[in-house]
């Protein structure tokens, strides 16, 4: 009898091991390797926000997930590329959330929030950079210089987060026109400021915070409500302190979502959600966000939809009021922020 019980126990262990191995070996993407297409250049704010999360998701799922860069038109090129591929779940798209606000009104993409399911790991502020030893020392110096029209301002695309925030600042500060020079990513802007190629630039601060901490460039303002201390000796003024009437500008702070076509297989989206939620809880991510000055938000599902819908309203109308759109947001049913209502907006998914 004891021998029989032992044999049954051994058999059960073998079955458990085999079943466990089958579960571990089960692939999410059985026919190939998935790829995340980042809509901006390597080393920029979007790129550096996405890669650490994707690496941990890959670890959790025990599958390789490639990351490639496809800059152009404030990530509209990448969005259109992914939307043009089969909805099989093998290709994802990563961008700044604010970019969605420019797609339709600038006629660079037909994409809104409705076409995507998204996962948002972080939110972080933009900052205006100048050379550490340049003529521009303060935020007011930058504003005064921009009003003369004699300096250039770096931006990583028209319609993305930092650019729209700069337009909002211009509207509040009374700057009629800004001479922009565009780059393929925020890191390139910081490098150009350091090299003296441009006098100032606006970036997602996480992409250049290390340079500001080292003192090779200077951030004259950060788009927050509270001062931001980045070293024992360097504290950056918040926009609400240095620009009267700017109290709503911090609300334009971006996230950097990983997106997939909404009509991709649900089983793939479920696994992405599982891996994503695990990834953002890892110590590496906590350490990364502290280092980069980011906040973990972990938006998924309806919370993610709601956030992008709200951002589209804010960004699209700022662009339009600045005279930088081809069409009015009204033509696409994009409400002004004062009129935005999620219960109304989410009905767009059923149309």
| CATH fold group of domain 35-123+254-350 | D-Maltodextrin-Binding Protein; domain 2 (3.40.190)
In three-state secondary structure terms, 203 is strand
pLDDT tens digits, residue range 52-68? 999 999 999 999 999 99
Long-range pairs for 55-60: beta carbons < 8 A, 24 or more residues apart:
56/275, 56/278, 56/279, 56/282, 56/284, 56/285, 57/272, 57/275, 57/276, 57/278, 57/279, 60/274, 60/275, 60/278, 60/279
**How many Å apart are CA 222 and CA 237, to the nearest integer?**
6
- 207 by Cβ neighbours in 10 Å (0-12 / 13-18 / 19+) ranks as buried
Tell me the whole-structure pTM to 2 decimals.
0.79
pLDDT tens digits, residue range 272-305? 999 999 999 999 999 999 888 898 999 999 999 9
Instruction: List C-alpha distances in Å: 195 to 24, 65, 216, 224.
Output: 50, 35, 10, 27
Answer yes or no: same fold for 35-123+254-350 and 126-252: yes
**How many Å apart are CA 41 and CA 192, to the nearest integer?**
14
Per-residue pLDDT at 351: 66
String of DSSP letters for 266-332: HHHHHHHHHHHHHHTTSHHHHHHHHHHT-EEEEE-HHHHHHHHHHHHHHHHHHHHHTT--SS-GGGG
Nearest to 128 by CA among 111, 145, 114, 113: 145
Provide the token pair at 351.
Answer: 């149309």
pLDDT greater at residue 155 or residue 18:
155
Mean pLDDT of 98-112: 96
Average per-residue pLDDT for the chain? 91
Nearest to 194 by CA among 279, 127, 131: 131
Choose the CATH number for 126-252 among 1.10.2020.10, 1.10.510.10, 3.40.190.10, 2.40.30.10. 3.40.190.10
pLDDT tens digits, residue range 167-201? 999 989 999 999 999 998 899 999 999 999 999 99
**How many Å apart are CA 289 and CA 75, to the nearest integer?**
23
Nearest to 91 by CA among 65, 110, 55, 120: 65
Nearest to 313 by CA among 340, 332, 331: 340
Residue 20 has pLDDT above 60, yes or no: no
Residue 244 has pLDDT above 90, yes or no: yes
Domain ranges of the chain: 35-123+254-350, 126-252
List the single range of 112-121, 143-152, 338-347 with lowest mean pLDDT. 338-347
String of DSSP letters for 49-108: HHHHHHHHHHHHHTS--EEEE---GGGHHHHHHHHTS-SSSSEEEE--GGGHHHHTTTTS
């Amino acid at each position: 009898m004891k021998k029989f019980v032992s044999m049954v126990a051994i058999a059960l262990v073998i079955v458990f091991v085999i079943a466990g191995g089958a579960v571990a070996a089960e692939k999410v993407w059985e026919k190939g390797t998935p790829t995340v297409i980042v809509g901006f250049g390597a080393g920029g704010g979007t790129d550096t926000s996405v890669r650490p999360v994707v690496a941990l998701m890959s670890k959790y799922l025990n599958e390789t997930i490639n990351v490639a860069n496809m800059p152009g038109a404030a990530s509209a090129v990448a969005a259109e590329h992914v939307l043009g591929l089969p909805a099989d779940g093998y290709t994802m798209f990563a961008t700044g959330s604010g970019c969605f606000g420019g797609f339709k009104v600038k006629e660079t993409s037909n994409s809104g929030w409705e076409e995507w399911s998204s996962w948002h790991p972080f939110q972080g502020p933009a900052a205006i950079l100048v050379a550490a030893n340049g003529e521009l020392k303060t935020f007011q110096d930058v504003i005064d210089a921009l009003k003369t029209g004699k300096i250039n301002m770096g931006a990583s695309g028209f319609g993305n987060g930092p650019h729209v925030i700069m337009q909002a600042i211009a509207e509040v500060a009374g700057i009629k026109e800004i001479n922009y020079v565009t780059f393929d990513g925020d890191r390139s802007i910081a490098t150009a400021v350091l090299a003296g190629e441009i006098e100032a630039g606006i970036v997602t601060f996480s992409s250049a915070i290390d340079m500001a901490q080292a003192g090779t460039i200077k951030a004259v303002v950060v788009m927050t409500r509270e001062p931001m201390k980045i070293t024992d000796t360097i504290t950056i003024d918040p926009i609400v302190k240095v620009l009267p009437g700017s109290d709503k500008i911090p609300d334009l702070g971006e996230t950097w979502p990983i997106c997939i076509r909404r009509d991709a297989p649900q089983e793939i989206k479920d696994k992405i959600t599982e891996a994503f939620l695990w990834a953002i809880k890892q110590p590496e991510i906590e350490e990364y966000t502290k280092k980069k000055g980011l906040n973990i938000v972990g938006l998924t599902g309806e919370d993610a939809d709601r956030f992008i819908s709200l951002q589209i309203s804010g960004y699209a109308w700022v662009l339009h009021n600045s005279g930088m759109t081809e069409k009015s947001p009204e033509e696409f049913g994009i409400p002004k922020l004062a009129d935005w209502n999620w219960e109304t907006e989410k009905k767009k998914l059923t149309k």
